[in-house]
Amino acid sequence: MVFESLITPWRAEKKPWEMLFFGFLYASFSVALGLWIFRDHAGLISVFFTVMFCIPLIYNTLKVEEEKTNYISEERSLLREHSRALAFFIFLFIGMTLAFATWFVAMPSEVSQSVFSVQMRTIADINTKAVGSAVLNSDILSTIIFNNIRVLTFCLLFSLFFGAGAIFILTWNASIIAVAMGTLIKSYVLATNSGFIIAHVGAYSNAVLRYFIHGIPEMAAYFVGALAGGIISVAIVRKDIMTKNFQKIAFDTSNLIILSILLLIVAGVVETYVTPFFY
């Protein structure tokens, strides 16, 4: 496969920042294909194409991470090795998000609203529920954490049953965040009297601060959960559950799940008490 040969798990772990460009490339190419082939459904099709481009890398990474449990005995060292995969996953997510947001901003309003109509309806539903919910920070925090844990559960299950399946949920979330960022950027540019470049730099900076401060630990939690489910999935496929090494795999994935829940709590606290300062 062409895209499988572009980047390998070993190269991605050595240079995780490169995945920012690959994520941007995959998402941009997917949007272009969606507009060309399935214009009326480009918003969803672009997500599916992006997932297809990412699956070879994600699946091979899961196999590599599962293999590490065979020759790394100390759990702390094993978690450190997993963090290399987590780093490039996050850069991949940021690249996809920035690409979707850039396309949303670059398109004329009527085109972007048509292409990303599904994402915009999802955002509208989320905002409606947020307005109708309790206004106490404690209630908002518990609601955010509960919803995030539900998404984490889906990531675990999708990775467990489909290997790299959680990448669909994460790419979909990237497109949702991107449309929210793009809407904010367009509003900011229209409201400012600064020049074109200064206005867009300020708009992108504001959008990144608003959504990435809590978004990065939140997405990191989902990727950690997906990594845990994927490692178990690979172990089942390889029949490692029948070996003595499975106890070590189970302990490792349990730590990853606990880590993902802790990251979600941190992300929820930041979203509740820090992110509102950037509204």
Identify the sign of the CA torsion 154, 157, 162, 166: positive
> pLDDT tens digits, the chain, 279 residues: what are they?
555 667 788 888 888 899 999 999 999 999 999 888 887 778 888 999 999 999 888 888 888 888 887 777 777 788 888 888 889 999 999 999 999 999 998 888 888 888 888 888 888 877 666 555 545 556 778 888 888 999 999 888 888 888 777 888 889 999 999 999 988 888 887 777 777 677 778 888 888 888 888 889 999 999 999 998 888 888 887 776 667 777 888 888 899 999 999 999 999 999 888 877 766
- How far apart are alpha carbons 119 and 42 in whole angstroms? 11
- Residue 134: what pLDDT? 46
CA angle 224, 262, 268 (to 5 degrees): 105
Q: Tokens 């904010």 appear where?
A: 184
Q: Is the dihedral of CA 173, 183, 192, 279 positive or negative?
A: negative
* Owning domain of residue 230: 2-278
Radius of gyration of the chain (CA): 19
pLDDT score at 141:
83
Helix (H, G, I), strand (E, B) or coil at 239: coil
Helix axes 75-106, 245-273, angle to 10 degrees: 50
d(CA 273, CA 261): 18
Show the tokens assigned to 230: 């994927």
Greatest Cα pair distance, the chain, in angstroms, is 66
Cα gap 130→134, rounded to integer Å = 8
Q: Which two tokens stand for residue 145?
A: 């954490």
* 224: amino acid identity, one letter: V
Residue 253 near residue 155, CB atoms below 8 Å: no
Q: What is the pLDDT at residue 267?
A: 92
Domain count along the chain: 1
How many CB atoms are closer than 10 A to CB 201? 12
Q: How far apart are CA 56 and CA 147, in angstroms?
A: 29
* DSSP assignment string, 141-183: HHHHHHHHHHHHHHHHHHHHHHSSTHHHHHHHHHHHHHHHHHH
* Residue 238, number of CB atoms within 10 A of its CB: 13
Instruction: Enter the tokens of residue 40.
Output: 């009326």
